[in-house]
Structure 1
């Protein structure tokens, strides 16, 4: 391992193998000269480097080799106290780190609360304890979710934390709890709260076809003749480029404090808007909205996602706009998102990020 004194200051990025983490990693390597340390869940450091090689091949294709020297991976389990390493090892690990970006999380909506806490709360605490060992720490950037606002009407403001809201699931609850852990850490920090992150606005690329993609896939196949829910409910979706660009600014530009939404805000489409777009794109028969309880089979199958299609609130973007959050209306990007989803067979035939870029350039 190269001594920290011989390396440039590093950005420690958790979640580098996940969707948002991959997008930030791509930006760090192609838009900055920063070096990156990526803790990766793996049996050992060699296996961690192997996982990173796979990520870089997906992101950069033939250009991966030229940038490989600027990122290193280490085996780490964020759910283990101290990452499963001694304090001396942890200190050596972060000796050259000045910025920590914590993207890693479990985004499963249905985990039992103890399991969700282990991933999202204990994992955050472990990362903060690691950050505190970095002698030159400048900032921690914590990725949360706008949906910590919970199930409530009205505008959710960026300065609000726990105001007694009801969480829809253990994901929202534990991300709210994790924010409290960050706030109590005493470390210089800021928080980015994305809403529902979908593919890139320009290429449609995503490796993760979940949340809104599931009902859209079912609609495209004529498998949703009825939709249990509220046609006027809003689904706040934001393209990943908007979120990753904001995250890059928080990580690499002047240090900021506080909380920032990366969301559609007032541009969030209604459930009816999404259905109308799908009907137009796929040429299908319009489904019918029905009351909750009238389509029990569908509700059992899609119950975890349905609450996100009947939200009556919205997210304030006052602070988000100061870091460049400028969401595009969903009708402007919908066809691009769906073309990529179909090309990738909704995740069954993955398309690499660099390939999606080449396809766009050739179009």
Structure 2
């Protein structure tokens, strides 16, 4: 039996998930640098062009849209000879783009990862999205063709299908919208949750479009990162995991109460806007609003539709993640509040 550390290739290392995984890896034997002896993990951070400050060692520049990752055949083969496990986190996550924009990296990039993993004899841990639930055959309603999230979700579902058909050992982690670290609120960059929350928290939303009964499911990023690393430590190479709170997630009123608490901590009083069923929005009133407000409300409406088409409550694997991978039981409202505070102090 080999006593060398297992080498883990982390794609998308400069992204929100990638940098969170690297931070979490500091708690592993050897700090993710492979110096902990047998059973340790050596993380190789791969990024296209952006620096990765959390990387425990030298980084590698990979282009997921190019053959051989842009390395050339010999360097690709040499990398495959080193790698035992792949965390595939690279992808285009921006919403609202044409379908063809997602294909080169989210779909064709995953196909290249599969080819690489086959050559390396490596398991793949794929970072998908919980929003694929909205495309399930069991969805109570079809997701609108013009939903701002649809093309992104479809690309992730296509990537999952490629992995399922490939026969290679793999897991799929499906996180909902991620917020900052559960303890500190830290995040490497702001995302849609922070952007929309700041807009609402400043009293700029005339109303909140939300389908009746949906949950506002936000998960601290370190819960995802810790689960992925623990799966690798245990040698797990199959399973689908919904990294969500599900029925435990806050409802819309609870989310707005957190925003009011955050505003109060910043010396502001938030007049909580009314919650309106998207089907009952007065279109004439909407047209009278400034363009930015219309845009933000459209995003809120479409995200609500995604949750509604997922059954109103996202599927969850949280009990299994807590039991098998030691994911801590974190109160989502407090984690959300910490994330808002961090964003206000460091990302504004």
Task: State the TM-score, normalizing by the size of structure 2.
Answer: 0.81
TM-fit CA distance, 1:338: 2.0
Question: Corresponding residue for 2:226?
Answer: 245
Alpha-carbon contact 1:154-1:313 (below 8 Å) kept: no
TM-fit CA distance, 1:25: 1.2
Alpha-carbon contact 1:121-1:178 (below 8 Å) kept: yes
> Which of residues 167, 173, 187 in structure 2 aligns to 1:192?
173
Q: For structure 1, which segment, 277-286 or 318-327, has the greater mean C-alpha deviation from structure 2 after superposition? A: 318-327
Question: Corresponding residue for 1:35?
Answer: 42
SS at match of 1:106: coil
1:168-193 Cα deviation digits (max 9, x unpaired): 51111110110011112221111111
Question: Corresponding residue for 1:98?
Answer: 84
Alpha-carbon contact 2:209-2:304 (below 8 Å) kept: no
1:170-227 Cα deviation digits (max 9, x unpaired): 1111101100111122211111111111111110111232222222101222211322
> Which of residues 273, 295, 298 in structure 2 aligns to 1:287?
273
Question: Corresponding residue for 1:140?
Answer: 124
Question: Corresponding residue for 1:124?
Answer: 110
Q: For structure 1, which segment, 308-317 or 199-208, has the greater mean C-alpha deviation from structure 2 after superposition? A: 308-317
Question: Corresponding residue for 1:328?
Answer: 330
Kindly report which structure 2 residues correspond to 1:1-363, keeping only aligned pairs within 5 A, or say none.
8-33=5-30, 34-42=41-49, 51-52=51-52, 55-56=53-54, 70-134=56-120, 137-150=121-134, 168-230=149-211, 232-282=213-263, 283-292=269-278, 293-294=281-282, 295-296=286-287, 297=289, 298-309=293-304, 311=307, 312-317=312-317, 319-321=320-322, 322-344=324-346, 347-348=347-348
Q: For structure 1, which segment, 16-25 or 310-319, has the greater mean C-alpha deviation from structure 2 after superposition? A: 310-319
Equivalent-residue separation in structure 1 for 2:129 and 2:230 (angstroms): 18
**Where do 5+ consecutive residues of structure 1 fail to align?**
43-47, 57-67, 157-163, 349-363
SS at match of 1:16: coil
TM-fit CA distance, 1:231: 5.8
Question: In 2 relative to 1, CA 324–229 (structure 1 residues): closer, same or farther, beyond 3 Å?
Answer: same
Equivalent-residue separation in structure 2 for 1:338 and 1:316 (angstroms): 24
TM-fit CA distance, 1:142: 0.9
Equivalent-residue separation in structure 1 for 2:115 and 2:199 (angstroms): 43
Alpha-carbon contact 2:124-2:237 (below 8 Å) kept: no
SS at match of 1:287: coil
Q: For structure 1, which segment, 290-299 or 123-132, has the greater mean C-alpha deviation from structure 2 after superposition? A: 290-299
Alpha-carbon contact 2:128-2:175 (below 8 Å) kept: yes
Alpha-carbon contact 1:205-1:337 (below 8 Å) kept: yes
Q: For structure 1, which segment, 99-108 or 218-227, has the greater mean C-alpha deviation from structure 2 after superposition? A: 218-227
Alpha-carbon contact 2:243-2:316 (below 8 Å) kept: no
Q: For structure 1, which segment, 78-87 or 304-313, has the greater mean C-alpha deviation from structure 2 after superposition? A: 304-313
TM-fit CA distance, 1:319: 4.3
SS at match of 1:314: coil
Equivalent-residue separation in structure 1 for 2:189 and 2:139 (angstroms): 28
TM-fit CA distance, 1:233: 2.2
**Where do 5+ consecutive residues of structure 2 fail to align?**
31-40, 264-268
Equivalent-residue separation in structure 1 for 2:152 and 2:260 (angstroms): 31
SS at match of 1:313: coil
SS at match of 1:286: coil
TM-fit CA distance, 1:41: 0.8
Alpha-carbon contact 1:13-1:103 (below 8 Å) kept: yes
Aligned length: 313
1:25-69 Cα deviation digits (max 9, x unpaired): 122244233222222213xxxxx7xx23xx23xxxxxxxxxxx7x
Alpha-carbon contact 1:151-1:165 (below 8 Å) kept: yes
